[in-house]
Amino acid sequence: MKDHLTDLLFNAVKQLTDELDQNQIVIERPKLIEHGDFSTNIALVLSKILKKTPRDIAQLILDKLPETTHFDKIEIAGAGFLNFFLSPFSHQAIINQVIEEKDNYGGNKKGKSRKVQIEFVSANPTGPLHVGHGRGAAIGDSIARLFEFSGWSVTREFYYNDAGAQIDNLMHSVKAHCLNIKPDHKDFPENGYRGSYIADIAKDYLAKTSIQCAGHKIQASGDINDEDSIRIFSIAYLRNEQDKDLEAFQTTFNVYTLESDLYKNHQVDFVVNTLIKEGHTYEKDGALWLRTTDFGDDKDRVMKKSDGDFTYFVPDVAYHLDKWTRGFIKVINEQGADHHSTISRVRAGLQGLNKNIPKDWPEYVLHQMITVMKNGAEVKISKRAGSYVTLKDLIDEVGCDATRYFLAARRADSQLIFDIDLAKSQSNDNPVYYIQYAHARIEGVLNQWKGDRNKLWIDTMPSFETQAEKKLIKRISEFPEVVILATDELAPHQITNFLKDCAADLHSYYNDSKFLVDDELTKITRLALIYATQCVIKNGLALLGITAPKKM
């Protein structure tokens, strides 16, 4: 409808001037239904060009618009805005379209089956997933669902940093427990991990337990002096645990990439040698440096330290070169805000490889910190992790649905307060409950009706007279636009905001209306409207990975 209206307006404007492009015609959705379903300020934009008042120009445009069955009324408002009110014909078409498309309503084919790779979570295998990883999972998976709904071929990817100092710290922590050295002992590794899960790993290692990890069986040797065995078993143990937490969070991945493989396959060496060959490196103080300032960074960065170890961004460059060679022209990384400093370094490294990689590739979504509250106080630690709140803690407390909703409910770049008490409450103050209850209320009415909802169709011109009805129709008609906006802006919170508003409109309509009335046309019309609304709510929740219960 928005595209159709844009075409109508552009054809009318062309008869007045050639000095305006179609993309200069901005159509908005008024917040108040009294101001119509659509509104444009095009008359104000044309005022300087045509040297007339906006209201006079608005009238000229109105005179040149062809007759259409889509709008019941078009009015000139305020300084010269044009407000468009949908006709009963359009109301009927919107409701029938939703019912016909059902699970597909709101989707689009803009992606044209092009490939997009979305990397998210990518937790180090050194401990349980924390709430920050959970926020990354909720946002990243929702972005993936949005792209799939928009016709893209999506690959979800998890990158394991299973090499480097943090893995050595993990191994030494587990070894210390195997030797009965506790975290409070002076001989416990200074940079070791102190959560109780380390003791669990040590116990299973000494018991020669086997772990299933990525389709392989990892058998603990039980040998305290075999550091390689401790390292391999510890990584597998925590990867297996993280996989179980993600499964409970309804989050899956298509590809798992290991940092260690980038070294084994000499991909890191290739990147370093290529950057040297391209002339973007130099040696200083016994270290190898990359001239990242050549590519917009504020200062040059060390690639290889004087002790021979690579800095952490070097394997990241190798990893992203691997993404590029796999044909992912569009890549989105959802990561914590602490990764902000790596963006310029990774992009600089990729530019230095001379592989025609775009300067702004890959794209990044960085999420901010989370504060977990319970009983009015901040929760800072987990019994198991010791130093932070785990994702499993939240799932156990409030369930998967509420956890996913709350973690995706705000802009990624804004800090988030997760109120456990609110997330558990069964009240209108809890947005998850409020939205799911709207879906369940509709299901209750449809079950009471006992008709065939697959045949629920408006075949006679309806008469929606109440503001509540018109507001609800306007809301569900906006859903495809919200999907496009949320996808383009990598912003799943746009869906959570829409669902809250849609649920509010439904509850208002439900509270003021009767549905199983004697008049058949009125009954079918109202049932079709709420059934269409139920389809939209279900589709919106699915984009967030949240269930749509039929009974609550």
Say yes or no: do domains 2-86 and 91-110+428-543 share a fold: no
Alpha helices per DSSP H over 267-356: 267-277, 313-325, 340-352
Residue 295 pLDDT > 90, yes or no?
yes
The predicted pLDDT at position 464 comes to 85
- pLDDT band at residue 214 using 50, 70 and 90 as cut-offs: confident
Percent of the chain scored above 70 by pLDDT? Answer: 100
Which architecture characterizes domain 2-86 according to CATH? Answer: 2-Layer Sandwich (3.30)
How is residue 323 written in tokens? 């993404």
Q: What phi and psi values does residue 264 have, to the nearest 5 degrees? A: -60, -40
The predicted pLDDT at position 455 comes to 84
Taking the alpha carbons at both ends of the chain, their separation in whole angstroms is 35
Average pLDDT for 123-142: 96
- pLDDT band at residue 130 using 50, 70 and 90 as cut-offs: very high
Burial track 12-39 (b if 16+ CB lie within 10 A, e otherwise): bbeebeeebeeeebebebbeebebbbbb
The model carries a pTM of: 0.94
Question: Domain spans of the chain?
Answer: 2-86, 91-110+428-543, 165-235
The predicted pLDDT at position 285 comes to 94
Residue 387 pLDDT > 90, yes or no?
no
Q: Look-up: residue for tokens 């509010």?
A: 504
The residue among 94, 69, 78, 91 whose CA lies nearest residue 40 is 78
CATH topology of domain 91-110+428-543: Isoleucyl-tRNA Synthetase; Domain 1 (1.10.730)
The residue among 228, 222, 1, 253 whose CA lies nearest residue 136 is 253
Q: Are 142 and 543 in contact (CB under 8 A)?
A: yes
The predicted pLDDT at position 385 comes to 81
The pLDDT tens digits for 339-358 are 988 999 999 999 999 999 99
Beta strand 377-379 with 370-374 is antiparallel
The predicted pLDDT at position 208 comes to 97
Which residue did the predictor score with more confidence, 303 or 68? 303
Taking the CA atoms of 256, 261, 265 and 269 in sequence, report the sign of the dihedral they define.
positive
Q: Are 188 and 176 in contact (CB under 8 A)?
A: yes
DSSP state of 163: S
Taking the CA atoms of 70, 74, 78 and 81 in sequence, report the sign of the dihedral they define.
positive
The predicted pLDDT at position 29 comes to 94
- SS3 per-residue string spanning 397-438: HHCHHHHHHHHHCCCCCCCEEEEHHHHHCCCCCCHHHHHHHH
Angle ∠(124,257,409) on CA atoms, nearest 5: 60
